Amino acid sequence: MTSKPRPRKKGDQWLVALAWGINVAALIAVVLAAALYFIFYPVSAAPKEIVKKTNYTATMPATYTPNPFALYLPTITPNPFSTLIVAQTPTPFVIENFSTQGRAEIITAGTSVSGRPIEVYAFGNGERQKMIVAGIHGGYEWNTIALADELIQYIFDRPDIIPSDVTLYILRNLNPDGDARDRGVDGRVNDHGADLNRNFPENWASEWNRAGCWRLAETNGGTGPGSEPETQAVMYFLQSHKIETLISYHSAALGVFPGGEPWDADSKKFAKALSKATRYPYPPLETGCVYTGTLADYAVSLGITAVDMELATHENTDFKANLKALDILLNWK
């Protein structure tokens, strides 16, 4: 038997083939959508882990011996963020004869993942201790480091602006690896890919909903609360000093964030006063972002009055406005 041409049947076959085609295409689309959803929104799939209040004691040694080989080798755990440092770039900011200034001192608080020093400039020797931290986010927040350097130079030239009962500490660059890597989006994290302002043990979370938050590149909160050497350097410094008041600088534009969850009452007053002087917004602009593991929250947990404060842009240091902020910090009681 030979099959006779049956146009009608052939039409049916095409219809069946078309129906199957649509089915298969729809199936592929569903699978693809599900895959994309889990790739881009893993947060919603995993429950948010908030670490309950625990006392974390930083166990940094009192003196730091930088490993000279750390300057020549990449970090032990290969990761896409590590940079090979061929030669240690000296701190670009140098004040001639700094150590000859009677009331000024440079303290090395620790070292970064890739072995760069984390330096604290100290002025005065009063009992009331105040602190400025800049550059916690490297990258395009580099202008906070530029501001710190301007302030250091300004105070060095006018040591008498430090009240006799005050000691001021300026940590000019908390994320030197990020700053060295890129002064754009890719410089935000440390050489472990961690956002240092999400690595502090207070309200630490392994994951967070990225809605409303910074998400221009991949970041993580560290492998655990206070896991990063830069974070540990600050923890150790705060635990071994009696800081009363602290400003952690960022950029740009969102305003002044009091530390604490909910916001600490003293830090709110401090934020309001800073906002009035600088015209940076308070309350800060609401983006819907939930902030976990911040330096300001950690400082408040130690009894420190603390804020995160954002410069107006990524380009300028707003020096005049921040001289007023410095005056408020130095005299805050």
Site residues for Zn ion per CB under 5 A: 137, 141, 250
d(CA 89, CA 177): 11
Residue 85 and residue 115 in contact, taking contact as beta carbons nearer than 8 Å: yes
Smallest distance from Zn ion to CB 214, Å: 8
* Cβ 225 to Zn ion shortest distance, Å: 19
Q: Output the smallest distance, CB 312 to Zn ion, in A.
A: 13
Smaller CB separation from Zn ion, 128 or 198:
198
- Spatial CB neighbours of 210, under 8 Å, sequence gap ≥ 6: 43
The alpha carbon dihedral of 10, 13, 18, 21 has a sign of negative
User: 181-204 burial, b for 16+ CB within 10 Å, e for fewer?
Assistant: bbbeebbbbbbbbbbbbbbbbbbb
CB of 157 to Zn ion, least distance (A): 28
Give 85 or 194: the residue with its C-beta nearer to Zn ion.
194
Q: Which is nearer to Zn ion, 198 or 250 (CB)?
A: 250
Helix (H) or strand (E) holding 115: none
In this complex, which beta carbon is closest to Zn ion, that of residue 137 or of residue 192?
A: 137
- Contacts of residue 207, defined as CB under 8 A and 6 or more positions apart, other chains included, come to 42, 43, 46, 48, 49, 221
Helix axes 265-278, 319-331, angle to 10 degrees: 140
Task: Report DSSP letters for 234-259, one per residue.
Answer: HHHHHHTS-EEEEEEEEESSS-EEE-
Q: Which is nearer to Zn ion, 141 or 297 (CB)?
A: 141
DSSP-assigned letters across all residues of 90-112: PPS---TTGGGSTTEEEEEEEE-
Residue 155 or 256 having the CB closest to Zn ion: 256
Minimum Å gap between C-beta 110 and Zn ion is 20
Minimum distance from CB of 248 to Zn ion (Å)? 9
Point out the residue whose Cβ comes nearest to Zn ion: 250
d(CA 333, CA 323): 18
Which residue, 291, 318, 321, 320, is CA-closest to 307? 291
Nearer to Zn ion, 124 or 193 (CB): 193
Query: Smallest distance from the beta carbon of 221 to Zn ion, in angstroms?
Result: 14
- Tell me the backbone φ, ψ of residue 218, rounded to 5 degrees: -70, 135
